[in-house]
Amino acid sequence: MQSRKSQEPGKKTGRKAGNKSSAKTGAKDVDGGSPIGAGDGDGTGSDPAAAAETTAARSADTDGQSDVGASPEAAAAIPPDTEAAVAPDAAAEDRPLALASPLASIAHESNRMVWRGQSGHYEVWFLTVHNPATRTSYWLRYTLESPDPAHGSPYVELWFSRCDAADPRRNFGIHRRYPLSSFESAQSPFLLRIAESELGHAHASGSLAGNRHEVSWDLQWEPAPRLHQLLPSSLYADRLGIAETLLLSPNHSVEVRGSIQIDGERIELTHARAGQSHIWGRKHAYGWGWGRCNSFELVDEHPLAAPASAVLETLSVRMRRGPVVVPLTVVSVYPDGLVGPEIAFKKWLTMPLCRADFRTGHYSVMAQGPTSKVEVQYACRPDDMIRTEYVDPDGSPAYCHFAGTASCRLTLSRRTLPGTRWKVWRTFRTEHGAQFEWTGRAGDSQVKNRHVRIEG
- 141 pairs with which residues across the strands? 126, 159
Cα angle 316-428-40, degrees, rounded to a multiple of 5: 45
DSSP string of 62-78, one letter each residue: TTS--STT--HHHHHTS
Alpha-helix runs per DSSP H in 86-224: 104-110
Amino acid at 126: F
- 215 pairs with which residues across the strands? 208, 262
pLDDT tens digits, one per residue of 251-285: 999 999 999 999 999 999 988 999 999 999 999 99
Cα angle 258-388-259, degrees, rounded to a multiple of 5: 5
Cα angle 276-163-381, degrees, rounded to a multiple of 5: 115
Q: How many CB atoms lie within 10 A of CB 142?
A: 23
Helix (H) or strand (E) holding 198: strand 197-200
- pLDDT given at position 396: 95
The C-alpha atoms of residue 437 and residue 358 are separated, in whole angstroms, by 9
The C-alpha atoms of residue 113 and residue 185 are separated, in whole angstroms, by 8
Straight-line distance from the first to the last Cα atom of the chain, in angstroms, rounded to the nearest whole number: 17
Q: How many CB atoms lie within 10 A of CB 275?
A: 25
- pLDDT given at position 19: 38
The C-alpha atoms of residue 56 and residue 58 are separated, in whole angstroms, by 6
CA atoms within 13 A on the CB side of 178: 22
- pLDDT given at position 242: 77
- pLDDT given at position 88: 30
Parse the chain into domains and list their residue ranges: 11-454
The answer to whether the beta carbons of residues 250 and 200 sit under 8 Å apart is: no
Topology of domain 11-454 in CATH is AttH-like fold (2.40.370)
Model confidence, pTM: 0.81
Residue ranges in the chain whose pLDDT is less than 50: 1-42, 44, 46-69, 75-103
SS3 103: coil
